[in-house]
Amino acid sequence: MKSRSIIAVQEWPHESRRAAELVIKAFGEPNEVSATELTWHHAVPWKRVVATEWFENHNFPVPHVDCIECVIDYAVPPEKMSELAHFDGSIRVDRTAGEVSVRCRSIASNTLKLNLVHDIVTGKRTAQEARDYHVKEVLDATRGEPTPYRKHLRIPPQGDTKDPGEQVLTEEELRTMADSDVALIAPLALARQSAPRHP
């Protein structure tokens, strides 16, 4: 009998279906299944892995599709944001949640990219040096040569990576806002009490 996830991806395009099947093979049944997404929570070493029916065409370093997202808890200093954007367009940084994610075609490709993100953030490589190394490992993979950055995540676990930002209004100003426009301040109060969006 076919699993829920295998049934769910049967109607997906070949590109995203095949990628999702490989993730199912690696991590087993996902925690969440919908018609367009499969989600694994705490699929070590990842905080979250998401396979999607939809995909984006991506040409660096070779033409492929981005349909597998891997997420980790990781704090990125604001001054490093532009370097990461120069390195690869599929890197996403959520400073508030304290997360970094990458979308590519496979777990191995995402591992390579996130290891290079860490190199850029820690100053080991520039964005251009990371791009050059990325190309080297892709070529090495086709030659059967060692690809250490694709094999496993080389990033030490981090503690509290969330950055909720700084409140710029005084409590008195907040009370004035609440008195004048309840609709404006209510979402703020609710946000303070809300549970995290992701486990």
Tens digits of residue pLDDT in 73-127? 999 999 999 999 999 999 999 999 999 999 999 999 999 999 999 999 999 999 9
Sequential DSSP letters for 89-137:
TTEEEETTTTEEEEEESSHHHHHHHHHHHHHHHTTSS-HHHHHHHHHHH
Arithmetic mean of pLDDT over the chain: 91
- Looking at residue 173, its pLDDT comes to 80
Global pTM reads: 0.87
- Looking at residue 80, its pLDDT comes to 97
Residue 115: burial class (beta carbons within 10 Å; 0-12, 13-18, 19+) = buried
- Looking at residue 167, its pLDDT comes to 86
% of the chain surpassing 90 pLDDT: 79
- DSSP annotation of 35: S
Kindly tell me if the per-residue pLDDT of 192 is higher than 60: no
Kindly tell me if the per-residue pLDDT of 168 is higher than 80: yes
